[in-house]
């Protein structure tokens, strides 16, 4: 009996270690998947850079802190009346709808862009905006 108990204890320890290792690997895989989406989103954002920047207004408003912000609310930016009057708060869902077809999502917007038609590109772009919006370029000066 004691040998059986030792083997059962050893088996239980090995099983617990294996489960811990497997769950750690799953977390790493999920993190690397999220990192890959952010990297792909950065490449998609290059198309936006003709009019937008993270940390400065250009033809379009800055994107730092976009998620959670009310549309048309960057101080001093000359938004279209439609954007200023909208009651949109930029969530992942509202941004996805807008990016898919800006002119249909918000008639009267001055954003003269046809949109990001590919769903994965939109998801990746939103992942990038979420990550970059919390990055060092978006921190207020100290």
Q: Does the pLDDT value for residue 17 go beyond 70?
A: no
Higher-scoring residue by pLDDT: 4, 38: 38
- Weakest-pLDDT range from 2-11, 63-72, 103-112: 2-11
Question: Where residue 126 sits, what CATH number does that domain have?
Answer: 1.10.760.10
* Domain coverage including residue 105: 2-138
Predicted local confidence at residue 2, as pLDDT: 57
Q: How far apart are CA 115 and CA 100, in angstroms?
A: 5
Q: Would you state the pLDDT for residue 140? A: 67
Q: What is the largest CA-CA distance in the chain?
A: 82
Helices 2-48 and 119-132, interaxial angle, to 10°? Answer: 100
CA distance 71 to 111: 13
Residue 102 and residue 110 in contact, taking contact as beta carbons nearer than 8 Å: no
Per-residue pLDDT band at 47 (split at 50, 70, 90): very high
Residues 72-121 have pLDDT tens digits of: 999 999 999 999 999 999 999 999 999 999 999 999 999 989 999 999 99
Q: What is the pTM of this model?
A: 0.76
Total of domains in the chain = 1
């Amino acid at each position: 009996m004691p040998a059986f108990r030792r083997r059962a204890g050893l088996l239980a320890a090995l099983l617990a270690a294996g489960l811990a290792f497997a769950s750690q690997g799953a977390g790493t895989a999920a993190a690397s998947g999220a990192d890959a989406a952010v990297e792909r989103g950065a490449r998609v954002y290059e198309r936006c850079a003709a009019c937008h920047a993270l940390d400065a207004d250009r033809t379009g408003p800055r994107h730092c802190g976009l998620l959670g912000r009310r549309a048309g609310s960057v101080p001093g930016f000359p938004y279209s009346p439609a954007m200023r009057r909208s009651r949109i708060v930029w969530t992942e869902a509202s941004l996805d709808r807008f990016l898919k077809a800006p002119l249909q999502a918000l008639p009267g917007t001055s954003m003269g862009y046809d949109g990001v038609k590919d769903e994965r590109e939109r998801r990746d772009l939103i992942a990038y905006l979420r990550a970059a919006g919390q990055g060092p370029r978006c921190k207020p000066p100290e």
